[in-house]
């Protein structure tokens, strides 16, 4: 009779078959260990009663142990994965603690992965892939996670922007033939559209400044077709600065060019709010009523004061961050770079005052011209139209009112 004909059931006395030998009942851990060393077949099962019937059903399964089975070793990460992590971390000049912070793990976990002692965890590997930008799973371990510089995506995206847009990269890496060219064509058309819009707006603005005497008179030239050719030519000359992208220091030059216009939008909105405040003050001083206006700001003059205050606070916060960067030591170059737009604005304002010899800071409210360029409107007719629109809108359902409010 072989050992496989002997059955050992723990906690139960029974015979196999009609007259088979009695099974040995192991009641202690020592007896179980002795049975394992002797090569006996063990059968274990858990008894269930009313107190533990709702426990984990895993214990209800019969488990057979045999000492001839090899011990299953836990698979550790491959050495190539550890080398790839260490190399990518050193290229990015990160310590194990820095990488652990980016991955929200302990430094010991990073150390175990680099030494090949860690058990592979897909979540941890995924976080390290995103932090280091290299493949740590599957094939081609250690290669860049994103496209290389010879990828088609680099045709329109520089090394500083390619990780931000992954459409072309994902399409090309996915092996979809022809579609990357379509995406590049879409990007090219979008760039041309944005460029033409910028040239149109900037050239007309320059022409308007020339007509008001705030720019050289030659910029006000308009041909028979109504095109401001001189202003368009000047704007296109500045557009040639785009070829700086082909230089070796395109990032530094682009940063300084961006700093020129960094505060322009904030300054524009401050001037808009101040112009509205001055306009409403001129109305009050000159005895005008807001009822004579075709359109009135819903927030009134209070909204302009609040809006201007918010933008001024933004400028103050920007200056403070530029002067004392978070986590960095004060840097004069960074401060000047952040506030270069404000410096240019002040220089142009003072230069205009000197050139025009106009030292008046602001025109008194009683002398402000609030009629020139104003469109004549039949106020009574306009008010009647607005009243009718409100009556029609009041009869519509709530979703139509929401659409009218936001759209």
304 pLDDT exceeds 90? yes
- SS3 of residue 63 by DSSP: strand
Least confident of 55-64, 135-144, 259-268, 380-389: 55-64
| Chain Cα centroid distance, residue 214 | 39
Task: Write down which residue in 205, 222, 246 finishes a domain.
Answer: 246
> Could you tell me how many residues make up the chain?
407
Burial 307-337 (b: 16+ CB within 10 A, else e): bbeebeeeeeebeeebeeeeeeeeeeebbeb
pLDDT given at position 5: 54
63 pLDDT exceeds 50? no
- SS3 of residue 101 by DSSP: helix
Task: Tell me if 68 is assigned to some domain.
Answer: yes
145 pLDDT exceeds 90? no
Q: How far apart are CA 141 and CA 82, in angstroms?
A: 10
Q: What is the DSSP letter of 7?
A: -
84 pLDDT exceeds 80? yes
242 pLDDT exceeds 70? yes
pLDDT given at position 67: 45
Task: Say yes or no: 340 and 352 in one domain.
Answer: yes
| Chain Cα centroid distance, residue 360 | 46
Q: How far apart are CA 69 and CA 399, in angstroms?
A: 71
Task: Say yes or no: 357 and 267 in one domain.
Answer: yes
Q: What is the pLDDT of residues 382-401, one digit of tens each?
A: 778 888 888 888 888 888 88
Task: Write down which residue in 217, 246, 275 finishes a domain.
Answer: 246
The CATH code of the domain that includes 101 is: 1.10.260.40
371 pLDDT exceeds 50? yes
Least confident of 21-30, 80-89, 312-321: 21-30
Task: Tell me if 253 is assigned to some domain.
Answer: no
Task: Tell me if 382 is assigned to some domain.
Answer: no
Range of the domain at 284: 259-376
Task: Say yes or no: 268 and 349 in one domain.
Answer: yes
Task: Tell me if 381 is assigned to some domain.
Answer: no
Task: Write down which residue in 31, 57, 72 finishes a domain.
Answer: 72
Task: Say yes or no: 159 and 118 in one domain.
Answer: no
pLDDT given at position 45: 57
17 pLDDT exceeds 70? no
194 pLDDT exceeds 50? yes
Mean pLDDT of 302-321: 90
Task: Say yes or no: 165 and 136 in one domain.
Answer: no
Task: Tell me if 358 is assigned to some domain.
Answer: yes
157 pLDDT exceeds 50? no
Task: Tell me if 394 is assigned to some domain.
Answer: no
Task: Say yes or no: 193 and 123 in one domain.
Answer: no
> Which residues on adjacent β-strands are paired with residue 22?
15
Task: Say yes or no: 280 and 345 in one domain.
Answer: yes
Task: Tell me if 207 is assigned to some domain.
Answer: yes
Task: Say yes or no: 130 and 31 in one domain.
Answer: no
> What is the chain's mean pLDDT, rounded?
77
- pTM for the predicted model, two decimal places: 0.48
Mean pLDDT of 55-77: 53
Task: Report the percent of the chain where pLDDT is more than 90.
Answer: 13
Q: How far apart are CA 81 and CA 247, in angstroms?
A: 36
Mean pLDDT of 256-282: 87
pLDDT given at position 173: 60
162 pLDDT exceeds 60? no
28 pLDDT exceeds 80? no
Task: Say yes or no: 183 and 227 in one domain.
Answer: yes
Longest dimension (CA), the chain: 125
* Number of domains composing the chain: 4
Q: How far apart are CA 361 and CA 280, in angstroms?
A: 18
Q: How far apart are CA 171 and CA 406, in angstroms?
A: 37
98 pLDDT exceeds 60? yes
DSSP one-letter string for 318-363: HHHHHHS-TTS---HHHHHHHTHHHHHHHHHHHHHHHHHT---SS-
pLDDT band at 363 (very low <50, low <70, confident <90, very high): confident
Least confident of 207-216, 229-238, 357-366: 357-366
Task: Say yes or no: 215 and 238 in one domain.
Answer: yes
| 116, containing H or E segment | none
Find out whether 339 and 322 touch, Cβ atoms under 8 Å.
Answer: yes
64 pLDDT exceeds 60? no
Task: Say yes or no: 265 and 370 in one domain.
Answer: yes
Q: What is the pLDDT of residues 288-298, one digit of tens each?
A: 887 777 778 88
Task: Tell me if 107 is assigned to some domain.
Answer: yes
Task: Say yes or no: 229 and 153 in one domain.
Answer: yes
């Amino acid at each position: 009779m072989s050992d496989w004909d002997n059955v050992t059931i723990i906690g139960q006395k029974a015979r196999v078959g009609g007259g088979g030998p009695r099974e040995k009942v192991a009641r202690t851990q020592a007896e179980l260990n002795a049975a394992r060393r002797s090569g006996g077949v063990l059968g274990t099962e858990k008894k269930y009663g009313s107190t533990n019937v709702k426990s984990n059903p895993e214990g209800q399964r019969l488990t057979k142990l045999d000492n001839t089975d090899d011990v299953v070793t836990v698979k550790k990460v491959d050495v190539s994965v550890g080398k790839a992590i260490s190399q990518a971390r050193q290229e990015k000049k990160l310590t194990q603690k820095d990488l652990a912070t980016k991955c929200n793990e302990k430094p010991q976990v990073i150390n175990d992965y680099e030494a090949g002692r860690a058990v592979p965890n897909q979540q941890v590997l995924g976080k390290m892939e995103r932090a280091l930008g290299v493949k740590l799973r599957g094939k081609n371990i250690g290669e860049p996670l994103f496209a290389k510089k010879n990828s088609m995506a680099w045709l329109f995206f520089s090394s500083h922007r390619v990780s931000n847009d992954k459409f072309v990269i994902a399409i090309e890496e996915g092996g979809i033939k022809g579609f990357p060219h379509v995406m590049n064509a879409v990007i090219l058309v979008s760039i041309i559209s944005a460029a033409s819009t910028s040239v149109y707006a900037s050239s007309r603005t320059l022409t308007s400044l020339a007509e008001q005497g705030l720019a050289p008179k030659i910029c006000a030239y308009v041909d028979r077709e109504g095109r401001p050719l001189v202003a368009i030519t000047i704007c296109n000359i500045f557009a040639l600065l785009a070829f700086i992208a082909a230089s070796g220091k395109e990032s530094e030059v682009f940063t300084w060019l961006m700093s020129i216009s960094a505060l322009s939008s904030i300054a524009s909105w401050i001037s808009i709010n101040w112009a509205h405040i001055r306009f409403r003050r001129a109305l009050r001083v000159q005895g005008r009523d807001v009822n004579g206006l075709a359109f009135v700001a819903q927030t009134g003059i209070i909204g302009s004061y609040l809006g201007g205050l918010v933008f001024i606070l933004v400028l103050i916060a920007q200056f403070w961050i530029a002067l004392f960067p978070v986590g960095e030591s004060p840097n004069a170059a960074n401060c000047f770079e952040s506030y270069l737009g404000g410096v240019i604005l002040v220089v142009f304002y003072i230069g205009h005052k000197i050139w025009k010899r106009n030292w008046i800071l602001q025109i008194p409210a009683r002398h402000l011209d609030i009629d020139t360029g104003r469109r004549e409107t039949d106020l009574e007719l306009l008010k009647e139209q607005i009243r009718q629109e409100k009556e029609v809108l009041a009869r519509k359902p709530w979703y139509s009112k929401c659409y009218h409010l936001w759209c």
